[in-house]
């Protein structure tokens, strides 16, 4: 009994000793002040001469941020920009970033990186396997970082500022987060893209970003009057306009906005946007419908060696605007609009299918995964030649479109008689 008591006392004293040691230790042994870090907001990768790669990073400029309000094009009052772009070349991505870190006055910190931009030339010619492998292994890089493709130079992209955002990287991040307002491009995070690269059934894809002239800025100097305290519109703007589709790690081609939404319909990822349909009595006039929600179900079937996929879509919308006099109190009028909307959705899907099956031969829809789930035994053989089987898949569509609300006015507004 005494021996047990002594053992308990020894354990208790040892615990007190360890607790005392832990209390005296610093809480964050690897703690670094923010001022010592080069906080990376965006990273770009593109090819350089001689098989090398060029890395561009956009970092926060804390000295400029502390000087005052942001002015034109993200410039702080006083002339300094609130961000810095740095580029360097290397034989590998790791070597380039290591050299960039060595030359930087602050240690590069990637944990707050919001977006990665890959050169379209790199994606088409060399592929993105090496790039994605590096980002997957980097402990600071988050799998929730947005991934984009562009045919522009990264440094050029990362120097186009908006009126509201402090830095171009923030502008890009905000555009991506507003994707459901149009549902016209299919963007993926790093983690999603990596999963698709490793998939045996579905090919990777992500959105394309470009620089466009700012149509809102008049070229006539007479219209360029700016009130005191007002920021003028920049000459250029950033726009995400379509989707890059891949065959494994190499880019196979692009889908435009219409085709991109067709892809999103099939994948059940349309959450908003506007559909334009022709007016029932005049194709020269149009009706705008606001998408509220949608749901998609894929039903595969194999008959006599032929693969069929039934795409079943349920969609709900509001009537946004009509250029034709319509009496929306009549059920037959609503039913006709719903039929026209269902047909427009089918056309968008058909355009995406034609591009993916006939031009690129890449399954970005998830048809292979649907077949895998229903026919796991047959899939073991089919997966080896899915790229050859996919173009021959017969797709049937069943679209149910419902207009839930027609606005505050149901009857047409009659023009005043004079």
Question: How many CB atoms lie under 10 A from the CB of residue 377?
Answer: 7
**Ramachandran angles phi, psi of 351, nearest 5°:** -65, -40
**pLDDT < 50 stretches in the chain:** 21-22, 24-25, 27, 29, 69, 72, 77, 216-230, 232, 408-410
> If we measure between CA atoms, which residue out of 249, 167, 154 comes closest to residue 205?
249
In whole angstroms, what is the distance from residue 405 CA to residue 387 CA?
43
* Domains (range + CATH), the chain: 34-215+232-255 (no CATH), 268-411 (3.30.300.210)
In whole angstroms, what is the distance from residue 153 CA to residue 169 CA?
14
What are the pLDDT digits (tens) for 314-324? 999 998 877 66
Length of the chain in terms of residues written: 418
In whole angstroms, what is the distance from residue 311 CA to residue 324 CA?
32
Q: Give the pLDDT of residue 377.
A: 94
Angle between helices 331-354 and 257-267 (to 10 degrees): 100
Q: Give the pLDDT of residue 132.
A: 95
Angle, CA 59 vertex, CA 128 and CA 114 arms, to 5°: 50
Q: Give the pLDDT of residue 329.
A: 80
Strand partners, 401: 315
Question: How many CB atoms lie under 10 A from the CB of residue 293?
Answer: 12
> If we measure between CA atoms, which residue out of 144, 154, 84 comes closest to residue 122?
154
Q: Give the pLDDT of residue 70.
A: 52
Cα 265 to chain centroid, rounded: 16
Q: Give the pLDDT of residue 79.
A: 59
Q: Give the pLDDT of residue 36.
A: 67
Name the pTM for this structure.
0.83
DSSP string, 203-261: --EEEEEEEEE-TTS-SSGGG----TTPPPPPSEEEEEEEEEEEETTEEEEEE-HHHHH
């Amino acid at each position: 009994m005494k021996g047990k008591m002594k053992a308990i006392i020894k354990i208790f004293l040892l615990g007190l000793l360890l607790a005392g040691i832990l209390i005296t230790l610093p809480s964050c042994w690897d703690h670094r002040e923010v001022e010592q870090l080069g906080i990376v907001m965006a990273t770009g990768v593109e090819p350089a001469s001689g098989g090398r790669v060029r890395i561009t990073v956009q970092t926060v400029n804390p000295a400029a941020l502390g000087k005052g309000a942001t002015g034109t094009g993200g410039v702080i009052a006083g002339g300094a920009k609130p961000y810095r772009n740095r580029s360097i070349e290397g034989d590998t991505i790791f070597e380039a970033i290591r050299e960039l870190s060595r030359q930087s006055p602050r240690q590069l910190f990637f944990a707050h990186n919001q977006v990665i931009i890959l050169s379209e030339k790199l994606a088409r010619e060399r592929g993105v396997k090496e790039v994605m492998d590096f980002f997957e292994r980097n402990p600071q890089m988050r799998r929730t970082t947005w991934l984009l493709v562009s045919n522009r130079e990264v440094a050029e992209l990362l120097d186009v500022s908006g009126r509201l955002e402090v830095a171009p990287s923030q502008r890009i991040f905000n555009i991506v987060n507003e994707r459901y307002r149009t549902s016209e491009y299919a963007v993926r995070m790093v983690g999603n893209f990596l999963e698709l690269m490793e998939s045996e059934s579905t090919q990777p894809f992500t959105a394309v970003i470009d620089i466009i002239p700012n149509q809102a800025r008049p070229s006539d100097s007479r219209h360029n009057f700016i009130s005191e305290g007002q920021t003028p519109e920049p000459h250029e703007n950033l726009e995400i306009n379509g989707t890059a589709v891949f065959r494994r790690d190499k880019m196979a081609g692009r889908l435009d906005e219409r085709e991109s939404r067709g892809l999103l319909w099939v994948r059940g990822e349309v959450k908003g946007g506007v559909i334009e349909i022709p007016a029932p009595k005049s194709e020269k006039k149009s009706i705008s419908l606001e998408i509220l929600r949608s749901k998609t179900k894929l039903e595969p079937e194999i008959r006599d060696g032929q693969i069929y996929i039934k795409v079943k879509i349920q969609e709900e919308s509001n009537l946004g605007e009509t250029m034709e006099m319509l009496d929306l109190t009549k059920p037959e009028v609503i039913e006709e609009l719903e039929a026209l909307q269902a047909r427009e959705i089918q056309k968008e899907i058909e355009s995406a299918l034609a591009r993916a099956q006939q031009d690129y031969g890449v399954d970005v829809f998830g048809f292979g995964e649907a077949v895998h789930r229903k026919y796991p035994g047959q899939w073991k053989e089919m997966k080896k030649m899915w790229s050859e089987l996919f173009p021959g898949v017969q797709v049937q569509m069943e679209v149910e479109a419902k207009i839930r609300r027609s606005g505050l006015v149901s009857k047409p507004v009659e023009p005043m008689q004079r």
